[in-house]
Homo-oligomer: A and B are copies of this chain.
Amino acid sequence: MLDLAVLGLLKEGDLHGYELNKRLKSLVGGYSTSFGALYPALARLERRGWVSSAAVAPELIADEEASEGPARRSRKRSAKPKSGRTRKVYHITEAGEDHLLELLQEDANNERRFRLQLAFCRFLTPDRRLALFELRRAHLVSLQAMARRDPVQSTDPYVRSLFEWDQERREHDLVWLDRLIAGERNSQPSSQTTDPMIDADRSDFPTGGQPQ
């Protein structure tokens, strides 16, 4: 799953491990990565040919940064290296991009994975993206059905409370997903399905609709 996150971030631009870790932390709340997982993951990705790496010596780092963004230099006192240690900057390969697209579409039964898929689904074509959302929706619906099929058998108030919590959350998640799917259909009315019942109540869609 880290693979998905790392490839997704690298698709936006080359990064070194330490920076990747910071981005992962801010990416999705609750997805705090540790170096102990990240560095071995990067090594694995490189062995499999999905990323390539280049060592950047400390004296070169300042130039790199400068050439990338010549503005914002004024605040810095000097063009001295930010780090005294060689960075390993990773770059996603073509095979890595293919693999990323696969990872973005697989499964639907894992919430944590779906969160990452959502975070990077802009790299999918609109129809693939819609398919992903529908897959997730089908999974949630099947969870709902399962929960309804055998309801709580316990009389303990805390256990009952727990089940009610689950129930509410599942319902809420479905509403949210439906909003997402509706937004997707509105901004992408072409494709194969001519669904007649979609834009009945579309006037307030707070989550921005147009993908880039």
A residues whose Cβ falls under 8 Å from a Cβ of B? 26-30, 115, 118-119, 121-122, 143, 146-147, 149-150, 153-166, 168-169, 172-173, 176, 180, 183, 196-197, 199, 201, 203, 205-212
* Shortest distance between the CB of A119 and any CB in chain B (Å): 5
Does more than half of chain A's interface fall in helix, strand or loop, or is it mixed? helix
Query: Are the CB atoms of A146 and B203 closer together than 8 Å?
Result: no
Given A165-B176, A176-B168, A205-B153, are A158 and B28 also a contact pair (CB < 8 Å)? no
Closest to A172 in B: B172
Given A26-B150, A29-B147, A169-B169, are A207 and B156 also a contact pair (CB < 8 Å)? no
Closest to A210 in B: B157
Query: Are the CB atoms of B29 and A157 closer together than 8 Å?
Result: no
Query: Are the CB atoms of B118 and A201 closer together than 8 Å?
Result: no
Query: 17 other contacts beyond A26-B153, A119-B159, A154-B201, with CB at 8 A cut-off?
Result: A27-B159, A29-B147, A29-B166, A118-B159, A118-B161, A118-B162, A119-B162, A121-B158, A122-B156, A122-B158, A150-B207, A155-B199, A157-B208, A157-B209, A158-B211, A161-B208, A169-B169
Closest to A199 in B: B155
Query: Are the CB atoms of B212 and A160 closer together than 8 Å?
Result: no
Query: Are the CB atoms of B197 and A155 closer together than 8 Å?
Result: yes
Give the residues in chain B near A27, CB-CB below 8 Å: 159
Query: Are the CB atoms of A201 and B157 closer together than 8 Å?
Result: no
Closest to A197 in B: B155
Partner of A157, one of B154, B173, B211: B211
